[in-house]
Amino acid sequence: MLENVKVILVGTSHPGNIGSAARAMKVMGLTEMVLVAPQCQVDEQTRSLASGAADVAQNAVVVETLEEAIEDCVLVVGSSARSRTLEWPMLEPRECGKKFVEEGQKGKVAIVFGRERTGLTNEELQMCHFHVCIPANPEYSSLNLAMAVQTISYEIRVAFLDWQTSAYPQSEQEAYPRNKELEMFYQHLEKVLYSTQFISKDKPNLVMNKFRRLFSRARLEQQELNMLRGVLTAIEKSTSNDDKSN
Ligand code: SAH
């Protein structure tokens, strides 16, 4: 199950942080690191701070966008110190660990960390199903990137050990769609909302962000997503028939 966990670092600018994050992961049994548009190279400093976990940093997959990094994932959680800027479904670190263990039995699950200076953008946070916030000192709540990776990786490990040794519920939940399918649904929805003139050209993002929040909260299952795609296709067909008969 732990091999299904992806740790995604977005726009990291300090090579040492990649090394420390790799070490934080490997001691907790996590090995899949993805770097989204890194602002530095994996270098000597990375390897030195990674110590025995240099392989994790060395083998990290590098991609250009967060969308690419999460397209095969059934669960995406964004880690953010600023929990209140966007109202989004939230998880405590402990719940986050459990969720990863439950859903990681069925498919790839990802935890996303932001840039050292500016964290994750709102757009990136809106690509996540949940946000997790480490309840730190409210007057100084921003952890060093690798420390945040350590804290969440530890929670995943604790949940994993619990699941291994106890009667932790074996997952019987419905299948969730991969992120790529969810993104295709949003694109389809946006297209239909334009063509039916529900949204206007001047404020497209506002409405789509609200829909993203709604569907993130609902946590669409595969079958529900298929049904909604069917509804959109039916609307498209009926509006094109109307056009023909006019
Ligand atoms: N100044 C940035 C913080 C960046 S710290 C900001 O205001 O967002 C780098 C990354 O570590 C963050 O993007 C986040 O993924 C993680 N992080 C740091 N502190 C955290 C906290 N208290 N809870 C959850 N994630 C945290």
pLDDT at site 170? 62
How many C-beta atoms lie closer than 10 Å to residue 97's C-beta? 24
Helix (H) or strand (E) holding 23: helix 15-26
Identify whether the C-beta of residue 57 lies closer than 8 Å to the C-beta of residue 42: yes
Identify whether the C-beta of residue 44 lies closer than 8 Å to the C-beta of residue 18: no
- Which tens digit of pLDDT belongs to each residue from 107-145? 999 999 999 999 999 999 999 999 999 999 999 999 999
Tell me the β-bridge partners of 76: 110
Instruction: Tell whether the model's pLDDT for residue 205 goes beyond 70.
Output: yes
Where do the domains of the chain lie, and which CATH numbers do they carry? 2-167 (3.40.1280.10), 179-243 (1.10.8.590)
Pairing state between β 108-113 and 73-79: parallel
Looking at residues 35-60, what average pLDDT do you find?
97
Q: Please tell me the number of Cα atoms within 13 Å of 74 on its side-chain side.
A: 20
Instruction: Tell whether the model's pLDDT for residue 169 goes beyond 70.
Output: no
pLDDT at site 165? 84
Q: What is the number of the ligand 1 atom nearest to the C-alpha of 114? A: 13
Helix (H) or strand (E) holding 36: strand 32-36
Rounded to the nearest whole angstrom, what is the distance from the C-alpha of residue 116 to the centroid of ligand 1?
7
- In a mutational test of the pocket of ligand 1, which residue from 8, 76, 79 has the highest number of ligand atoms less than 8 Å from its CB? 79
Cα 32 from Cα 180, distance rounded (Å) = 19
> Which residues line ligand 1 at a C-beta cut-off of 6 Å?
79-82, 113-114, 116-120, 133-134, 136, 141-143, 145, 148
pTM tops 0.75: yes
Which residue CA neighbors atom 20 of ligand 1 most closely?
A: 81
